Amino acid sequence: MIHKLISGGVSFFIIFMLYVPPVFGQEKLLRVAVAGMSHDHIHVLLQQYKQKRVVITGIAEPDKTRIANLRKHYMLPDSLFYDTVAEMLSATRPDVVLAYNPISEHVSVAEACLPQKIPLMVEKPLAITNKQARKISDLSKRYGTPVFTNYETTWYGSNHALKQHLEQSGSGPLKRMIAKDGHQGPREIGCSEIFLDWLTDPEKNGGGALIDFGCYGANLMTWLMNGERPVAVTAVTRQVKPAVYPDVDDDATILLEYKNGATGIIEASWNWPYGIKSFEVYGTQLSLHATDANTLIRAESIENVQKLQVSDAYFKDQIAYLEAVFTGEAVTKNDLSSLENNLIVVEILQAARQSAKEGKRIVL
């Protein structure tokens, strides 16, 4: 299947023309190198490796205990491992580097990869601060090499069906967006200690639930608003479980105001009774609600509700997406993974932290 993404603008096109992508075919798998293994999302990639959907050329991870645990479970050869990203890249030339390390370290991975014109995909969000995000962006532009951000919800067919239906249904002007994201808490659901060590560290992660799950709503709303940044951000954070998470928030509510009158509400929490990634939007004529990855509900009134068909027309995961990007089948201007979108996401998150700290509305 040939996938097409919405494209526009010039700046990213110039960057991508400077970068010469690898050529893929049925006989060639994507070759990835891994920066860090402390993010539990690494298991998704390692499952893809076991399924022979991707080739891993090297893994930079200094923690020998983490290496021992994952190497045995996924049958990873000793020859894959290096202490640093620089050492790994001096020994192997991957098609792309995937970062599974603390958010605060995304900048250092970009500094190692982008001058060598090696594309980078980081786990969400892109960075902790605007300063870090701009540095990554500057490196990407200077060396003409793309940077992507990976969100689980990017691969939800329901979200793409929602946007498509919104554009085609005559719903009227977009008035309200509500994103609910989170779970019972990272410790409660059994995240690894090496992951918890930085996920609950305000310096390494930038915050708690506000960062961990607030980024999903900011990402989707920026995408739905076609790259428009909000005019103001207001946020409230709480520590519902200070004994469990003493250093970071575990519950956040973020209000985004847009110039056309639209409002975005982001509810990010480590205190939901169950895991949730829900996105709903309201126009003047109808509402659409992506309740999970495969379910989209359309309503014109409380009585007039229908479940819509959700197709698999988008990419199923980050590997399928990157393969399509590098073969030219996908153009990524302002899509969910794009640098343009995720610079705005970081702006929103930084403003939300400032608003919660200072108790006031922050104008961007």
State pTM to two decimals: 0.91
Q: Which stretches of the chain are DSSP H helices? A: 11-18, 42-50, 64-74, 85-91, 106-113, 130-143, 157-168, 193-199, 209-224, 318-326, 339-358
3-class DSSP assignment, residue 344: helix
- What is the rounded distance in angstroms from the CA atom of residue 262 to the CA atom of residue 219? 16
- What is the pLDDT averaged over residues 143-147? 97
Question: Tell me, what CATH number does 54's domain have?
Answer: 3.40.50.720
Which residue type does 170 have? Answer: G
Least Cα distance to 236 among 192, 213, 270, 266 occurs for 266
CA distances from 355 to 247, 264, 350 (A): 18, 15, 9
Residues 214, 88 share a domain:
no
Percentage of residues in the chain having pLDDT higher than 70:
92
The helix or strand, by DSSP H or E, that contains position 264, with its residue range, turns out to be: strand 263-269
Residues 132, 243 share a domain:
no
Tell me the pLDDT band of 311, cut-offs 50, 70 and 90: confident
Residues 110, 170 share a domain:
no
Asked whether residue 72 is domain-assigned, the answer is yes
Backbone angles phi, psi at 253, to 5 degrees: -125, 125
Tell me: the pLDDT tens digits for 74-122?
A: 999 999 999 999 999 999 999 999 999 999 999 999 999 999 999 999 9
Residues 323, 308 share a domain:
no
Tell me: the pLDDT tens digits for 24-43?
A: 544 589 999 999 999 999 99
Asked whether residue 131 is domain-assigned, the answer is yes
Inter-residue contact 212 to 321 (CB < 8 Å):
no
Backbone angles phi, psi at 10, to 5 degrees: -120, -35
Asked whether residue 5 is domain-assigned, the answer is no
Question: Tell me, what CATH number does 239's domain have?
Answer: 3.30.360.10
HEC assignment per residue over 200-245: CCCCCCCCCHHHHHHHHHHHHHHHHCCCCCCCEEEEEEECCCCCCC
The two structure tokens encoding residue 153: 């919800």
Asked whether residue 6 is domain-assigned, the answer is no
DSSP 180: E
The C-alpha angle 312, 316, 317, rounded to 5 degrees, equals 165
Q: Are strands 96-99 and 147-150 parallel, antiparallel or unpaired?
A: unpaired
Residues 163, 128 share a domain:
no
Residues 229, 139 share a domain:
no
The two structure tokens encoding residue 41: 């999302």
Residues 175, 44 share a domain:
no
Asked whether residue 340 is domain-assigned, the answer is no
DSSP string, 79-118: GGEESSHHHHHHH---SEEEE-S-GGGHHHHHHHHGGGT-
- What is the rounded distance in angstroms from the CA atom of residue 113 to the CA atom of residue 19? 13
Beta-bridged to residue 191, according to DSSP, are: none
Other CB atoms within 10 A of residue 176 CB: 14
The yes-or-no verdict on residue 258 having pLDDT over 90 is: yes
Tell me: the pLDDT tens digits for 224-253?
A: 999 999 999 999 999 999 999 999 999 999
Beta-bridged to residue 363, according to DSSP, are: 232
The two structure tokens encoding residue 51: 């399924």
Residues 177, 139 share a domain:
no
Q: Pick 3 or 23 by higher pLDDT.
A: 23
Least Cα distance to 37 among 8, 59, 15 occurs for 59
Asked whether residue 2 is domain-assigned, the answer is no
Residues 204, 104 share a domain:
no
Q: What pLDDT does residue 23 have?
A: 53
Domain interval for residue 296: 153-314+345-363
Asked whether residue 132 is domain-assigned, the answer is yes
Residues 132, 254 share a domain:
no
Say how many domains are in the chain: 2
Residues 162, 80 share a domain:
no
| Packing angle, helices 157-168 and 209-224, rounded to 10 | 30
Inter-residue contact 291 to 272 (CB < 8 Å):
no
Inter-residue contact 182 to 270 (CB < 8 Å):
yes
Residues 157, 182 share a domain:
yes
- What is the rounded distance in angstroms from the CA atom of residue 30 to the CA atom of residue 98? 12
The yes-or-no verdict on residue 3 having pLDDT over 60 is: no
Asked whether residue 120 is domain-assigned, the answer is yes
Q: Pick 343 or 174 by higher pLDDT.
A: 343
